[in-house]
Structure 1
Amino acid sequence: MLYGIGKDTMSLEVNEKEMLDILKKNPRAILQGKTSDEKVMPVVVQNIQRETMSGKLLHIDFHHVNMTESMDSKVTIHFSGEAIGVKSGGVLQVEMYEVEVRCMPGDLPSSMEVDISGLAAGAQLLVSDLIFKDGIEVLTDPNTVMIQIKTVHAEIEETA
């Protein structure tokens, strides 16, 4: 189904294989939907229903995107590198993999890669540490911890 402000709700059909390929690459991509009268309009996937056992697509809700107005969406964060704190015995703890942003649809990044190799034991990466290009407003609380490198305290047994 296709929904949108000021738009009539429409039923759509999609090629399941093509849709699955798109969802693997970028689940928040702005797609070009074509209506039965050959009109093309930008849409995003709003909701997906899958068969529980097989994962087969049952229903997808699309939402019309107005390319001239800012939109709220989420951006997936990919962490790269091995933190020096992990190399020295710390434990990497990921708290969240995505942040909510507001921007023009054409500026929405599909994902963001963050190098964590400089994080020492006891360090953390906050949402405020992420650097997005101009025009992207981060809506997630800037003080939210994304990653922390926990130090491991070994218990020492005293010998009697």
Structure 2
Amino acid sequence: MSLTINATKREDQGKGASRRLRRAEQIPAIIYGAGKAPSNITLGIHEITHLLEKEESYTSVLDLMVGKKKEAVIIKDLQRHPAKNIVTHVDFLRVNLKQALVTNIPLHFLGADENESIRLGAILNQFVTSVEVSCLPADLPTSIDVDITNLTLGDHISLTGLNIPKGVTLTALTHGDIEAHDQSVVAVQEAKKMAEVQDDAPVAPETEVAGDEANADNAEGDE
């Protein structure tokens, strides 16, 4: 089931225009990428807030309706009010449905409540909470499940042990030496050893479309 968000074209620009929009329960946004010029749009605050309550919205290809025109996009960036946590601006990146894209996908760890070692006092150490993948938009998963039900004390799951959907590639394992990049994702360890373990989770890179340098240099810089 596709996720749809409605928008209208926006002509007014600048801080004053953005403040007027927000008073009218609307927020400014922009679409860019896919070799096309950036386009300024307006979103309804209630619709975008409701959409963002769904975790899959952050990792799904969305149908953005600007009037009667539909564009395939992903959410590239969100800005929120520092005190109210209200969305104040959204960046959408156009997606070519025939071209692979690179983005981060969250990991869902399942089975902790049924894991015997954890029930007896062991600790589940999550080294990685999301992974970077490359795939066609149609193959993009909203999350990747990691079953830790049967892990015993000292066991771990590495990147090569993840159940990756068909058509999806872990970019960390495409650099030649798989063993050198096959980092641990999760492990069951003794509680007293947790203080000795350093979290080596990689910094999440920005979403990008493979082969397309999405450029928002022409976007408004004053919103």
Fold agreement, TM-score > 0.5: yes
Q: List structure 1 segments (4+ residues) > 4 angstroms apart after TM superposition.
A: none
Q: How does 1:67-146 map to 2 (within 5 A)?
A: 67-82=97-112, 83-141=115-173, 143-146=182-185
Distance 1:29 1:139 in 2: 18
Q: Which runs of 5+ in 2 are unaligned?
A: 1-29, 174-180, 194-223
Q: Displacement of 1:61 after TM fit?
A: 0.5
Shifted more, 19-28 versus 40-49: the winner is 19-28
Structure 1 counterpart of 2:47, one-letter code: E
1:55 aligned residue: 85
User: What is the root-mean-square deviation in Å for CA atoms of aligned residues?
Assistant: 1.7
Distance 2:131 2:52 in 1: 18
What TM-score does the superposition give when structure 2 sets the normalisation length?
0.64
What TM-score does the superposition give when structure 1 sets the normalisation length?
0.87
Structure showing the higher helix proportion among its residues: 2
Shifted more, 82-91 versus 63-72: the winner is 82-91
Structure 2 counterpart of 1:17, one-letter code: H
Q: Displacement of 1:13 after TM fit?
A: 1.3
Distance 2:72 2:192 in 1: 53
Q: 1:123 to 1:70 in 2, by over 3 A?
A: same
Structure 1 counterpart of 2:33, one-letter code: G
Q: Which runs of 5+ in 1 are unaligned?
A: 155-160
- Higher relative contact order at CA 8 Å, sep ≥6: structure 1 or structure 2? 2
User: What are the Cα deviations for residues 17-50 of structure 1, in whole angstroms up to 9, with x where unaligned?
Assistant: 22223223111221111235x2111011000010
1:23 aligned residue: 52
Count of aligned pairs? 153
Three-state SS of the structure 2 residue aligned to 1:19 is helix
Distance 1:5 1:29 in 2: 17
